[in-house]
Amino acid sequence: MAPTTHSPLENLAELSEAAKSVAFAAFNLHLLGLNARVLATKLGDKGRAFSVLSNEWVVLGTLFETSMHRLQTLTEKLLQGLSHSMVRRKRARLLRECAADFTRLGIQLDEEPPTSATQVRTARVELQSVVDEAMRGCLLGRVIARSAKIEAGWSDDSREVLTALANDFEQQLASILPSLRTLDVLQREGLT
């Protein structure tokens, strides 16, 4: 998963795919949360505890979706910023080969403009905070899923369907974690 031997562009491609898969899972989580809420309402009094938990799911799902929107915007920013600086670096590498001639002519070669470097740095810091927030969301989600499973066990007539729902929720959360870890590693090591 630590793609330090890959080119920045390969890492960017991986980052973009990880962001897409997290966004997809976040959307599914939100749907599952809404499903759970409908089910809890149907159960009425018998599903009161489940209803509290399902509300937490919906809140968590919404939170995930919001951070995934931010993640997508940041990914676009990083794709733009980093591919721009790649073009510039490529040119700079070629120009460096005749740096002596430029110096003789009194022409100073430009380094990468600070604005694009700053943009990328800012986007990386923001990306890290989105990833951290999503990781915390996953931990919280796991606790909620576990409580939901226990709660489902108490239900006489809807045990199976509630347990299945809680399992789906847990699986969806588990599927997000590897992509979040990929994003985390790429952000730290692979985007320079």
The footprint of other proteins (CB under 8 A) covers 7-10, 12-14, 16-17, 75-76, 79-80, 83-84, 86-87, 90
Nearer to other proteins, 41 or 192 (CB): 192
Nearer to other proteins, 95 or 138 (CB): 95
Q: Show Cβ contacts of residue 107 under 8 Å, excluding neighbours closer than 6 positions.
A: none
Residue 120 CB, shortest distance to other proteins, in Å, is: 12
Residue 87 CB, shortest distance to other proteins, in Å, is: 6
> How far, in Å, CA of 147 to CA of 142, rounded?
9
Which among 143, 135, 130 has a CA at the least distance from the CA of 169?
A: 143
Nearer to other proteins, 70 or 142 (CB): 70
Length of the chain: 192
Residue 16 CB, shortest distance to other proteins, in Å, is: 4
Residue 187 CB, shortest distance to other proteins, in Å, is: 16
Residue 15 CB, shortest distance to other proteins, in Å, is: 9
Nearer to other proteins, 96 or 146 (CB): 96
Residues 16 and 191: beta-carbon distance below 8 Å = no
Q: Show Cβ contacts of residue 168 under 8 Å, excluding neighbours closer than 6 positions.
A: 32
Which among 147, 167, 189, 157 has a CA at the least distance from the CA of 51?
A: 147
> How far, in Å, CA of 146 to CA of 122, rounded?
37
Residue 113 CB, shortest distance to other proteins, in Å, is: 14
Nearer to other proteins, 2 or 164 (CB): 2
Nearer to other proteins, 11 or 67 (CB): 11
CA distances (Å), 19 to each of 45, 68, 157, 184, in order? 40, 8, 39, 11
| C-alpha atoms less than 13 angstroms from C-alpha of 39 in its C-beta half-sphere | 25
